[in-house]
Amino acid sequence: MKKEDVPQDLSSLGKITKEVCYATDPSGKYTTELSRGWDIKITALDAAWDDIKDRITLAAEKCANNQASPILYFMERGLMDIGIVSAYTGFWKWQVKRHLKPSVFKKLSDKKLQRYAGVFNVSIPELKTMTLHED
């Protein structure tokens, strides 16, 4: 693609960052050019973020219906899986899975809850109630 043909479609990230693309200059040599976005990528990213929002909503519903502990909500919100939470908290994966059960979560000590709260960057009360006070 020629340097002047590099897409400059404004995306939600276009105001924050630009992407480096390779293009040909007038002499036919490859060079780099900054792009603010590309319609196809914008559509794909928007679809991915919609999916993430749906997963967070579903996790919140599961917690409200006592089908999962708040750990699931914060995992989804933080784009984490059991392996990542396990690595950050120091709990074994099987322990994290077990802590996802509401009955087990309610019995966790403050020390264990603090490990989760630290990973999710919330307080223990916020962890328990899923109430966030964002600045």
pLDDT category, 21, cuts 50, 70, 90? confident
Same domain, 95 and 60: yes
Tell me the residue length of the chain.
135
C-beta separation of 73 from 104 below 8 A: no
Neighbouring C-beta atoms of residue 85, cutoff 10 Å: 25
57 lies in the same domain as 116: yes
Per-residue confidence band for 55, with pLDDT thresholds at 50, 70 and 90: very high
* Structural domain span for residue 16: 3-37
Q: How far apart are CA 74 and CA 99, in angstroms?
A: 13
58 and 86 fall within a common domain:
yes
Whether 23 and 87 share a structural domain: no
Distance CA 22, CA 56 (A): 36
Q: Are residues 68 and 26 located together in one domain of the fold?
A: no
Domain count for the chain: 2
Is pTM, for the whole model, over 0.85?
A: no
Q: 135 in a domain, yes or no?
A: no
Region of residue 28 (left: phi > 0; alpha: psi -120 to 50; beta: else): left
Instruction: Please give the single-letter amino acid code of residue 102.
Output: P
List Cβ neighbours of 133 (8 Å cut-off, separation of 6 or more).
Answer: 126
Q: What is the pLDDT of residues 68-110, one digit of tens each?
A: 999 999 999 999 999 999 999 999 999 999 999 999 999 999 9
Identify residue 124 by its one-letter amino acid code: I
